[in-house]
Chains A and B, each alone.
Chain A
């Protein structure tokens, strides 16, 4: 009977000990899911035994739950250790595994399997305790029940909570990070035995985590067949589709693999919050995400980059070999990819990988999870990765050169080039752009300007591409723009019909630059970053256009003045009555002067106070930093400073500056037409409008609403330039006082 009991204690029921559940199942076929994990143990002594004393029955009934727990745990462990399913899953992560998963009840989980292993460990302790008890019983001439009770007493505190745990796991289908989370929480308990059990289980769980971390941070591979890692790939299907479509030609594939690498970096992976154990801080998770992505990038340089590098290396090699005879060099050239593994090695040397692995191994082996040491390890791994990535991006990929090039072209630092371009395209830009050919039309002056000002000196120029967004390939992204431009063009045309002054405002403002960056710089110059650059560029080029028109107009007026005098003299010589036109309408000079002043000061402000200042800051950072993440954030800061300090994000200011630019252009074009078709009333209108705008610009710059904002210092800087001799202020005040003579207004302004 004692053996019957012992057997029951290791999960086997019989006549003596029965499972109530079985009973119930035979009685009613209830399919209540909770009954899988009954809250109360279901092992009971068979009720019909009469030879057992009630006191003994009591003792036995108290022991029996252990057997029940054992059985359930064992069952759980066996289920999740289901080796074949795991093996399969490991080898065919996507296809077969899913089927297998479906076959085996519930979804497979590596973590659960690890827990199961842990449970087996615990159970084996229990089993050996039972064995011990059996031996004790056998050796004892007078076996008593108390021996059993005594031997298995300590499991009373251990097994029920573990059972509760697995019950919860099964019930709520807890997997991955959540599982760790749960275990971690359970570790906090006051019972030493139980705590050590849970810690052991957690340790098992962490083994999996560390393995995943290692594959992620050492090899950049996501080894996570069941979606349990807290870093996950996004949009599986999209990327796969993309690559499957592009299998057609090799070239395309390289391209798409490049793209895939890029998307990998940008959006390919993300932190899956659900699987993130709560005790791992978000920052740490991000660091892990970054490190993995960095390693991924370092481990998989794209084809073109590899090719480039290896050819470069071979150049060196060949150069060296040329002295000895060039046959060897040819052989090398035939296999350009030969050296590629070496390059990947260069990018991320094995020693570094080993170091990371070692760090993780150290963590893996410690029996307890120390948050502090874990975090510090992750951080140092992250630093290592960031360093290597930095080296790749900054040194190998010549980040600084590209930054400079972006400044040259997007921030118009190569002023002569753009001046030449705008000059060349001036006639073209006076007409509304023809939708079909605008880009091609502009290409001519663009190339010409490049030829004249840049020549072969600038190796970055070939990366710059001119676009009129609605027309080029970028169709998809700018359908909206197209619509807008159509409207614009229409309006321009209609205006042209009405006023015949030939201004069309202005489809050309959509001029865009594209900058093609090679791997791995896409990591740095993300489309988002480039679009910010583009925004600034479009603003600056409009400013430049306006400035140039104003200057042209100035030069024209200067010439007119000379010519007028010459005419005057000739007339006088010919003794005509002195009907001289010497005096040009002075107000034109004045209005133009105000316009020029405003535009130029805005330019000076943006160039000196904003671009150059920020650029110096960025340079200083680039020089001192050797951490990729840091660099990215500096660069982000640089860009957003450019945008915010040139007021592109303050609607009121940028709108007014916009309309001022428009007015300036209209003014210039009108003046130009003046000789042929003097249209004073329109000029007058423009002048009036301009004065109004410039006054309201003053009001806005001074307004108390913006005074409190972060940008106040920059607004003040700009205002200081505009209002250097207080003229701006005086006129604005004068007008304001006339227009709305509110008593307290001046004091406010």
Chain B
């Protein structure tokens, strides 16, 4: 069709994830590091049945080129890519490096400001890429909301700016993000991280259609516990992210009856516009040197494992009492491999009987299971693998934690001077912070309200507050509904 998706990778983390993602996609589609189809893939072309054109386009010389934009404010990671094995894969026109060079002081505002300044260059690239597609479905943004432990957090600001601009310019296109949240357990050596996180979170709440939350804490934990790595490197945790990314796009790349586009994938997961933060789980997890670990993988096993918190890539910061109240708003399991479809129903039934999932009470919800094909070129020892995309209310604790850290810092009025240097916060106008906080708080509230059966009433209160003509009409409709 193809409902093309343009991937935008911003910053160190975004580019690292992106690089792994493209590597994975190349392997799955039988595309070599130089963008040419591997021999085995050309022979088996008739049997592949894959859609490469969602994520790639073909250049005149038959090279497959990712629909990817690489952006950073400092050259280190992108240089790595440009000197790496896959250097010829990307369209070099699609790489944006700020002339500015190294970033200034981990400051979100700086990045945002820089973004504003180079917006024309960036949007040129985006436009060119968008024009090159037939019916663009949307954008996927890979980034970290607060950078890693290193320097250069201002890039988060750039990502934020980009989100806003995309929303403005491509208002009809979907924006999905894969957002890596910083490790909340360790205190970051970047002191202003809570500020940056909050400001980015606001954009994610307002300008993205879907945010796949990947929590570095959980990624580390999974790497240690599940993959038995003593000291997981970024590369290793990032490969987890790319696994999730590629798995969540399988239904787009190996089309079947359903979920062939991003809308289809997301619409059922996100019942209300604000609650669009998704958690993911993946099983079985292996890294390359562990291929010899063989597990039994039936559909039930996979689905059961996906529901275990230890496999979910967001840590639960909830206290036990709260945790018990947390509820799933929606679940989509994408199961790949040789599956006996009759097992799906049995597994669903078993899970329901055992009450393994706690669903919301204010609306219909179920575990949707999409069966997807697997790349014929990737040999795995396990027959079945599964990805879970879930909308779960416990994500609010992550946001609460961000809020808490922000409050702590803000109370002290610490490090605000750096921000005041930039137009957004000029004249000591810190309303952006306040607004952001307000929005995140309301988000947390909304998620909390989702846990109770009268979530619908929560909406009504809000609309009463709004006191608009629409709101009151809505109210009247609502009262009918709750009948």
Residues on A lying within 8 angstroms of B by beta carbon are 411-417, 419-420, 423, 449, 452-453, 457, 540, 547-548, 550-552, 554-555, 557-559, 561-563, 565-566, 579-591, 593-594, 596-598, 600-601, 603-604, 607-609, 611-613, 616, 680, 683-684, 687-688, 691, 717, 720-722, 724-725, 727-728, 730, 735, 738
Asked if residues A412 and B480 are in contact (CB atoms below 8 Å), the reply is no
Add 18 more A-B contacts to A586-B462, A724-B365 (CB < 8 A): A411-B257, A415-B255, A419-B3, A419-B260, A540-B257, A547-B264, A554-B266, A559-B171, A584-B474, A585-B470, A585-B478, A597-B364, A600-B268, A609-B341, A613-B341, A616-B342, A727-B359, A738-B483
Asked if residues B260 and A416 are in contact (CB atoms below 8 Å), the reply is yes
A530–B144 Cα distance when bound, in Å, is 53
Smallest CB–CB gap between A711 and chain B, Å?
15
Given known contacts A457-B46, A597-B364, A680-B473, A586 and B255 CB-to-CB distance under 8 angstroms? no
Asked if residues B365 and A589 are in contact (CB atoms below 8 Å), the reply is no
A520–B427 Cα distance when bound, in Å, is 83
Asked if residues B267 and A420 are in contact (CB atoms below 8 Å), the reply is no
Asked if residues A688 and B363 are in contact (CB atoms below 8 Å), the reply is no
Chain A residues with Cβ below 8 Å from B348 are 720-721, 724
Complex A-B: 10 CB contacts under 8 Å: A423-B135, A585-B463, A585-B477, A586-B456, A587-B480, A608-B371, A609-B342, A611-B257, A683-B477, A730-B361
Chain B residues with Cβ below 8 Å from A582 are 466
Asked if residues B255 and A727 are in contact (CB atoms below 8 Å), the reply is no
Which B229-277 residues have C-beta < 8 A from chain A? 255-261, 263-264, 266-268, 270-274
Given known contacts A415-B257, A562-B207, A607-B257, A722 and B364 CB-to-CB distance under 8 angstroms? yes
Smallest CB–CB gap between B307 and chain A, Å?
13
Chain A residues with Cβ below 8 Å from B2 are 416, 420, 452-453
Given known contacts A452-B134, A607-B258, A609-B345, A416 and B267 CB-to-CB distance under 8 angstroms? no
Shortest Cβ-Cβ A-B pairs, 8 listed: A724-B366, A585-B474, A420-B1, A725-B359, A416-B255, A612-B341, A586-B459, A561-B273
A590–B481 Cα distance when bound, in Å, is 9
A607–B369 Cα distance when bound, in Å, is 10
Asked if residues B477 and A680 are in contact (CB atoms below 8 Å), the reply is yes
A36–B267 Cα distance when bound, in Å, is 89
Residue of A nearest to B271 (CB): A593
Residue of A nearest to B328 (CB): A725
A299–B481 Cα distance when bound, in Å, is 68
Chain A residues with Cβ below 8 Å from B480 are 587, 684, 687-688
Interface centre among B51, B257, B260 (most CB of A within 10 A): B257
A727–B328 Cα distance when bound, in Å, is 13
| A-contact bits for B433-444, CB 8 A (1 contact / 0 none) | 000000000000
Smallest CB–CB gap between A40 and chain B, Å?
76
Asked if residues A552 and B263 are in contact (CB atoms below 8 Å), the reply is yes
Tell me if B188 is interfacial: C-beta within 8 Å of chain A. Answer: no
Chain A residues with Cβ below 8 Å from B209 are 555, 558
Asked if residues A583 and B1 are in contact (CB atoms below 8 Å), the reply is no
Residue of A nearest to B366 (CB): A724
A728–B362 Cα distance when bound, in Å, is 10
A680–B270 Cα distance when bound, in Å, is 24
Asked if residues B256 and A413 are in contact (CB atoms below 8 Å), the reply is yes
Chain B residues with Cβ below 8 Å from A550 are 267
The listed residue (A457, A555, A580) touching B263 by CB distance below 8 A is A555
Asked if residues B366 and A419 are in contact (CB atoms below 8 Å), the reply is no
Q: Is the interface of B mostly helix, strand, loop or mixed?
A: mixed
Asked if residues B168 and A566 are in contact (CB atoms below 8 Å), the reply is yes
Residue of B nearest to A412 (CB): B257
Chain B residues with Cβ below 8 Å from A584 are 273, 470, 474
Asked if residues B345 and A586 are in contact (CB atoms below 8 Å), the reply is no
Asked if residues A562 and B471 are in contact (CB atoms below 8 Å), the reply is no
Given known contacts A452-B1, A596-B267, A583 and B366 CB-to-CB distance under 8 angstroms? no
Chain B residues with Cβ below 8 Å from A579 are 468
Which B363-391 residues have C-beta < 8 A from chain A? 363-371
A555–B470 Cα distance when bound, in Å, is 20
Chain A residues with Cβ below 8 Å from B228 are none
Residues on B lying within 8 angstroms of A by beta carbon are 1-3, 45-46, 51, 134-135, 167-168, 171-172, 174, 206-207, 209, 255-261, 263-264, 266-268, 270-274, 340-342, 344-345, 348-349, 352, 359-371, 456, 459-460, 462-463, 466, 468, 470-471, 473-474, 477-478, 480-481, 483
Asked if residues A725 and B477 are in contact (CB atoms below 8 Å), the reply is no
The listed residue (B167, B257, B344, B474) touching A583 by CB distance below 8 A is B474
Residue of A nearest to B264 (CB): A551
A613–B171 Cα distance when bound, in Å, is 41
Given known contacts A547-B264, A596-B267, A724 and B352 CB-to-CB distance under 8 angstroms? yes
Given known contacts A412-B257, A590-B363, A585 and B456 CB-to-CB distance under 8 angstroms? no
A562–B170 Cα distance when bound, in Å, is 11
Chain A residues with Cβ below 8 Å from B268 are 596-597, 600
Asked if residues B352 and A720 are in contact (CB atoms below 8 Å), the reply is yes
Residue of A nearest to B137 (CB): A555
Given known contacts A583-B463, A587-B474, A725 and B361 CB-to-CB distance under 8 angstroms? yes
Chain A residues with Cβ below 8 Å from B258 are 415, 547, 600, 603-604, 607
A268–B359 Cα distance when bound, in Å, is 60
A583–B341 Cα distance when bound, in Å, is 42
Asked if residues A557 and B273 are in contact (CB atoms below 8 Å), the reply is yes
Chain B residues with Cβ below 8 Å from A449 are 1
Residue of A nearest to B468 (CB): A581
A419–B263 Cα distance when bound, in Å, is 12
Residue of A nearest to B262 (CB): A555
A600–B459 Cα distance when bound, in Å, is 25
A454–B267 Cα distance when bound, in Å, is 26
Interface centre among B266, B342, B364, B473 (most CB of A within 10 A): B364
The listed residue (A414, A588, A687, A725) touching B364 by CB distance below 8 A is A725
Smallest CB–CB gap between A461 and chain B, Å?
13
Chain A residues with Cβ below 8 Å from B261 are 419, 551
Asked if residues A728 and B256 are in contact (CB atoms below 8 Å), the reply is no
Chain A residues with Cβ below 8 Å from B360 are 725, 727
A551–B138 Cα distance when bound, in Å, is 14
Given known contacts A559-B172, A684-B477, A590 and B456 CB-to-CB distance under 8 angstroms? yes
Residue of B nearest to A556 (CB): B172
Chain A residues with Cβ below 8 Å from B470 are 581, 583-585
A558–B173 Cα distance when bound, in Å, is 10
Residue of B nearest to A725 (CB): B359
A725–B371 Cα distance when bound, in Å, is 22
Given known contacts A551-B264, A604-B370, A720-B352, A565 and B206 CB-to-CB distance under 8 angstroms? yes
Residue of B nearest to A559 (CB): B171
Smallest CB–CB gap between A316 and chain B, Å?
20
Smallest CB–CB gap between B447 and chain A, Å?
15
Chain A residues with Cβ below 8 Å from B349 are 720
Given known contacts A457-B45, A603-B258, A604-B370, A580 and B341 CB-to-CB distance under 8 angstroms? no
A675–B361 Cα distance when bound, in Å, is 31
Smallest CB–CB gap between B277 and chain A, Å?
14
Chain A residues with Cβ below 8 Å from B473 are 585, 680
Asked if residues B1 and A591 are in contact (CB atoms below 8 Å), the reply is no
Smallest CB–CB gap between A512 and chain B, Å?
19
A487–B371 Cα distance when bound, in Å, is 41
Asked if residues B474 and A727 are in contact (CB atoms below 8 Å), the reply is no
Chain A residues with Cβ below 8 Å from B459 are 583, 586
The listed residue (A412, A586, A722) touching B463 by CB distance below 8 A is A586
Chain B residues with Cβ below 8 Å from A598 are 364
The listed residue (A566, A581, A607, A687) touching B481 by CB distance below 8 A is A687
A596–B456 Cα distance when bound, in Å, is 18
Asked if residues A562 and B134 are in contact (CB atoms below 8 Å), the reply is no
Asked if residues A717 and B273 are in contact (CB atoms below 8 Å), the reply is no
Chain A residues with Cβ below 8 Å from B460 are 586
Residue of A nearest to B172 (CB): A559
Smallest CB–CB gap between B376 and chain A, Å?
15
Asked if residues A416 and B483 are in contact (CB atoms below 8 Å), the reply is no
Smallest CB–CB gap between B333 and chain A, Å?
11
Smallest CB–CB gap between B170 and chain A, Å?
10
